[in-house]
Every structure is written in structure tokens, then in C-alpha cells.
Amino acid sequence: MIIKIAKFILYPKEDPIGYAVGFDIELPNGRKFYKDVIVELSEINDLNKDDDIIDLAWQKVSDEIDQRKNKLLEKSDFLGKEWTPKNKRNKEENKEENKDNIVDTIEE
């Protein structure tokens, strides 16, 4: 699983109540999703590093992210992929083979 920080801003812009922290999640099967959370200013009194705030945000959403991850990992890898029916694949493969044969003949 690849985790990227997609959002880290005071929220709302005027009179903020906390930091909005968002995570982009990418799974090994290519599925992706986004999850964000507000870490309230009252929760971060003792935290002085951005990384600590992000870690607290992760703690708040990690169970939900794990649940969603598990559901998405159960789905077939074929969902959402480009696919060509066998009869068309065979025709395309034959065209490629014929191109190779033509090139071989010309080169001889």
C-alpha cells in the first residue's frame, strides 16, 4: 500500500478549528481512494511538528482505511482494466505476426 499526503491545511480558511489532513491510498491491485479528516487544534496543543499532526490524523482514520482497503483488495484485478475479446485478440496477434513476416521477406 502506498500512502501519500494529499492535503495538509488549516481548516476552514477563516477562523480555523483544525488541520484538514488528506491521504491518497494506492493498493497493490491498482485501486486508489482518498480519505481525509480534521485534527482539531485542541488535539494538537503539545504537538509542534507537522509530522506529529499527520500521525495523529492517521491514527484517527487508519481503521476505516484498513476496512476499505480490505474490501477493495477482494475485488478482481480485472475490474476497470481495458479488455479485448479473444476473437479480436487473435486477429490482432495474427496481424502482428503477418507484419513480422512481411518485414522478414523484404529484408531477405
| Cβ neighbours of 19 (radius 10 Å) | 23
Structure-derived torsion over alpha carbons of residues 50, 51, 52, 54, reported in degrees to the nearest 10: 90
Q: CA–CA separation, 44 vs 93, rounded Å? A: 60
Residue 105 has pLDDT above 60, yes or no: no
Q: CA–CA separation, 65 vs 33, rounded Å? A: 9
Q: Is the pTM of this model over 0.85?
A: no
Write out pLDDT tens, residues 57-78: 999 999 999 999 999 998 877 7
Residue 1 has pLDDT above 90, yes or no: yes
